[in-house]
C-alpha cells in the first residue's frame, strides 16, 4: 500500500502515454502503466529507454479491448493497490482508410480499443472512486472526434463517442466527487502521427494555425492539470490542445 495518489494510464508506452507517465511520476504519483499482454519484454525495455526504470511505476499487462480479461486484471489490481485515484484512458489505435474501402475489421478494432474499452476499464475504477469519495478520470479523445477527419470514419466516431461518455459520466460522478474530463489533442509528434504519409502530413500541418505539431509535453501537461488540485472544479469538459486547428 502507498500513501501516494495512484494513476493508471492505459496504452502507456505510446507517445502521449509515455509523457503522461513521466509527468505523473515527476509530480509525486505512483503510476500503473498498462501494456498489451505478451509485450512484457518491450514494456521493460520501454521503461529503460525512457529513463523510467527505478521510478515509482509498475507495469500492468492489460488488453483493454478484452472485456472479461480487463475485469479480472482490474479486480486483482484494486485488491492489491487498495485504490486508484486517477484513470487516464489513453490507449488508442488508428486503422485509417476512406469509408468506401474500410473493412469491418478496421471499424471494429478501432471501436473495441478506443471506445468499448472505456466501459471495461472505467467501470470498476469509477465504482471504486465513488466508494472512496473522489477521483479523476481523463479520456484522451482527439481533434478528429470534434471536427471529423477524412479517412477516419472509425476513429472520429470513437473519439466523438468518448466525449459523450465523458459528459454522461461527469454527471453521474459529480455527487461522489469524481470528475471526468476529456483532452482532445491535435496532431502531436508521436509515432502514430509521423506514420502518416509525408505528403498528407504536410498538407495537414499547413492547415494548423500554429503551423506545427503539438509536443507530447503540451498534451501531458493538460492531463496533469485535470488530475491535480487546480483542475478540481472542471468536469464534463473537453480541453482542446490543437494549435487552433479546430476552434469550438
Compute the CA torsion angle 212, 216, 219, 225 (nearest 10 deg): -140
Out of 102, 130, 192, 234, point to the residue binding ligand CAA (CB under 6 A): 192
Q: Three-class SS of residue 245?
A: coil
Nearer to ligand CAA, 71 or 201 (CB): 201
Among 36, 39, 83, 151, binds ligand CAA (CB under 6 A): 151
Query: How far is the C-alpha of 193 from the C-alpha of 156, rounded, in Å?
Result: 15
Q: Which is nearer to ligand CAA, 59 or 239 (CB)?
A: 239
Residue with cell string 502518416: 196
Q: Which range, of 4-12, 42-50, 89-97, 214-222, touches ligand CAA by CB under 6 A?
A: 89-97
Among candidates 92, 9, 89, which has minimal Cα distance to 56? 9
Beta-strand relationship, 178-185 and 135-140: parallel
Q: Is 126 or 155 the residue whose CB approaches ligand CAA more closely?
A: 155
- Residue 93-122 contact track with ligand CAA, rule CB under 6 A, x = bound: -x-xxx------------------------
Q: Which stretch binds ligand CAA (CB under 6 A): 71-79, 107-115, 128-136, 142-150?
A: 142-150
Q: Could you tell me how many residues of this chain bind ligand CAA (CB under 6 A)? A: 19
246 binds ligand CAA (CB under 6 A): no
C-alpha–C-alpha distance, residues 68 and 57, integer Å: 25
Length of the chain: 248
Beta carbons of 143 and 184 less than 8 angstroms apart: yes
Closest approach of Cβ 124 to ligand CAA, in Å? 26
Q: Which is nearer to ligand CAA, 4 or 211 (CB)?
A: 211
The answer to whether the beta carbons of residues 130 and 176 sit under 8 Å apart is: yes
154 contact partners, CB below 8 Å, separation of at least 6: 95, 102, 106, 107, 110, 111
Pairwise CA distance, residues 170 & 234, whole Å: 10
Q: Which of 149, 218, 221, 225 binds ligand CAA (CB under 6 A)?
A: 149
C-beta neighbour count of 132 within 10 angstroms:
15
- Which of 137/241 has CB closer to ligand CAA? 241
**194-223 footprint of ligand CAA as x/- string (CB under 6 A):** --xx--x---x-------------------
Stretch near ligand CAA under the rule CB under 6 A, chosen from 14-22, 30-38, 125-133, 191-199: 191-199
Contact positions vs ligand CAA (CB under 6 A): 94, 96-98, 142-144, 149-152, 155, 187, 192-193, 196-197, 200, 204
Amino acid at each position: 500500500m502507498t500513501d501516494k495518489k495512484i494513476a493508471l494510464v492505459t496504452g502507456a508506452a505510446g507517445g502521449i502515454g509515455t509523457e503522461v507517465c513521466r509527468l505523473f511520476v515527476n509530480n509525486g504519483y505512483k503510476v500503473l502503466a498498462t501494456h498489451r499482454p505478451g509485450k512484457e519484454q518491450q514494456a521493460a525495455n520501454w521503461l529503460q529507454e525512457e529513463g523510467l526504470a527505478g521510478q515509482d511505476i509498475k507495469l500492468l499487462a492489460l488488453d483493454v479491448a478484452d472485456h472479461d480479461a480487463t475485469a479480472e486484471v482490474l479486480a486483482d489490481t484494486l485488491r492489491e493497490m487498495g485504490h486508484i485515484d486517477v484513470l487516464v484512458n489513453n490507449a488508442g489505435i488508428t486503422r485509417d482508410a476512406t469509408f468506401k474501402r474500410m473493412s469491418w475489421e478496421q471499424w471494429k478494432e478501432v471501436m473495441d480499443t478506443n471506445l468499448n474499452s472505456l466501459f471495461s476499464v472505467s467501470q470498476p475504477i469509477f465504482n471504486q472512486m465513488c466508494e472512496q469519495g473522489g477521483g479523476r478520470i481523463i479520456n484522451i479523445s482527439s481533434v478528429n472526434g470534434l471536427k471529423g477527419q477524412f479517412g477516419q470514419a472509425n476513429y472520429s466516431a470513437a473519439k466523438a463517442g468518448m466525449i459523450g461518455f465523458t459528459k454522461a459520466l461527469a454527471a453521474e460522478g459529480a455527487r461522489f466527487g469524481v470528475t471526468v474530463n476529456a483532452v482532445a489533442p491535435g496532431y502531436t509528434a508521436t509515432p502514430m502521427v509521423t506514420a502518416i504519409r509525408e505528403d498528407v502530413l504536410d498538407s495537414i500541418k499547413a492547415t494548423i494555425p500554429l503551423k506545427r505539431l503539438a509536443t507530447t509535453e503540451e498534451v501531458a501537461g493538460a492531463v496533469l492539470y485535470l488530475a491535480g488540485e487546480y483542475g478540481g472544479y472542471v468536469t464534463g469538459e473537453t480541453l482542446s490542445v490543437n494549435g487552433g486547428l479546430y476552434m469550438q
